[in-house]
Amino acid sequence: MPDAAPPATPATTPAARRARALLSPRLRLCLLVLLLAAAAGAVWAWQPHRLLAEGWPPRLSGGPAVVIFALAYGGCAAALVPRPLLNLAAGALFGAPAGLAAAVAGTVLGAGVSFGLGRLLGQDALRPLLRARWLAAADRQLSRHGFRSMLAIRLFPGVPFAAANYCAAVSRMGWLPFLLATGLGSVPNTAAYAVAGSHATTPTSPVFLAALACVALPALAGCAVAWRKRGRLRAARDTAGPGRPGEPGRPATEPGPSGA
pLDDT (tens digit per residue) in 89-145: 899 889 899 999 999 999 999 999 999 988 888 777 776 666 667 667 777 888 888
Query: Mapped to the 3 state alphabet, what secondary structure does 137-162 carry?
Result: HHHHHHHHCHHHHHHHHHHCCCCCHH
pTM: 0.70
**From 6-10, 112-116, 173-177, 209-213, the region with the lowest mean pLDDT:** 6-10
| DSSP tally for the chain: helices H, then strands E | 12, 0
pLDDT (mean) for 36-48: 75
Digit-coded pLDDT (tens) for 51-79: 655 666 666 667 888 999 999 899 889 88
CA count, 13 A, side-chain hemisphere, 60: 11
Q: Rounded distance, CA 156 to CA 20, Å?
A: 42
| Domain segments of the chain as ranges | 26-48+62-236
Q: What sign does the CA torsion over 11, 12, 18, 24 have?
A: positive
- Specify the amino acid at residue 108: V
CB atoms within 10 A of CB 179: 17
Q: Rounded distance, CA 193 to CA 184, Å?
A: 15
Buried b (16+ CB within 10 A) or exposed e, 132-145: eeeeeebbeebeee
**What DSSP string describes 53-76?**
HH-S-TT--HHHHHHHHHHHHHHH
